[in-house]
Amino acid sequence: MTYGITDLATFILGTIFIVLLPGPNSMYVTLVASRWGIAAGYRGACGIFLGDLILMILAASGVASLLVAVPALFMVLKYAGGAYLVWLGIGLLRAAVQRWRGIEAPASRLSEGDARQPFRTALVISLMNPKAILFFVSFFIQFVSPDYPHPALSFLILGAIVQFCSALYLSALIFGGSYLADAFRRRRRLSAGATGAVGGLFIGFGVKLAGASLR
């Protein structure tokens, strides 16, 4: 046991696996980078980092355990999060239809104005993502020994590992999305198809997350 962490190797492997699973956070950052560039992509990534940090603090302080003690609270949160993702997905589908038709007017929250506010949107997506909440409630806190006298240090180390893995993965997605941006600009219907596909995935994520369970 190192610094109160019961199994560091297992935690790192589990974190890498969970980070690599497709989800609304990574999908949103990729979309932002592909439409508005690397800087906007990193602003969205920073929103995700902050959202994850808040969830880590809540999990470490025991506040997140309220979701287990009060199932109705988790139910409200998961339905609100699912509805938000579906709403974003529908907006993306509308934007894809307009782009396919050659109409450049924005059709959703993910409009040209959103290029200046990806941080806020990504933060909301992160905080209302039951997948992330489940990770920090059921996985993150399990690797800290209850007998260690400085649990804050343990959580700090685990949190740094999560953020590092997330930063590497999101950076790869941001630069990959930026690389695709040129192709999307040259091919309007390709861009419309990609936007519509992401919109469909957001709707799917919303429906799936609305059915998530803490058990």
pLDDT digits (tens, 9 = 90+) for 3-48: 778 878 888 888 888 788 777 888 888 888 877 888 888 999 999 9
Residue 170 lies inside a defined structural domain of this protein: yes
Residue 83 lies inside a defined structural domain of this protein: yes
> Number of structural domains, the chain?
1
Residue 2 lies inside a defined structural domain of this protein: no
Mean pLDDT, to the nearest integer, of 182-204?
64
Which pLDDT score, from 0 to 100, does residue 21 have? 73
Residue 142 lies inside a defined structural domain of this protein: yes
Q: What is the tens place of the pLDDT at every residue in 69-109?
A: 666 766 776 677 677 777 777 876 776 676 666 655 444 44
Q: Which domain holds residue 57?
A: 8-210
Residue 153 lies inside a defined structural domain of this protein: yes
Q: What is the tens place of the pLDDT at every residue in 98-142?
A: 666 665 544 444 444 454 588 988 898 888 776 777 777 767 777
Q: What is the DSSP string of 143-211?
A: GB-TT-S-HHHHHHHHHHHHHHHHHHHHHHHHHHHHHHHHHHHH-HHHHHHHHHHHHHHHHHHHHHHHT
Residue 43 lies inside a defined structural domain of this protein: yes
SS3 2: strand
Which pLDDT score, from 0 to 100, does residue 180 have? 65
Residue 3 lies inside a defined structural domain of this protein: no
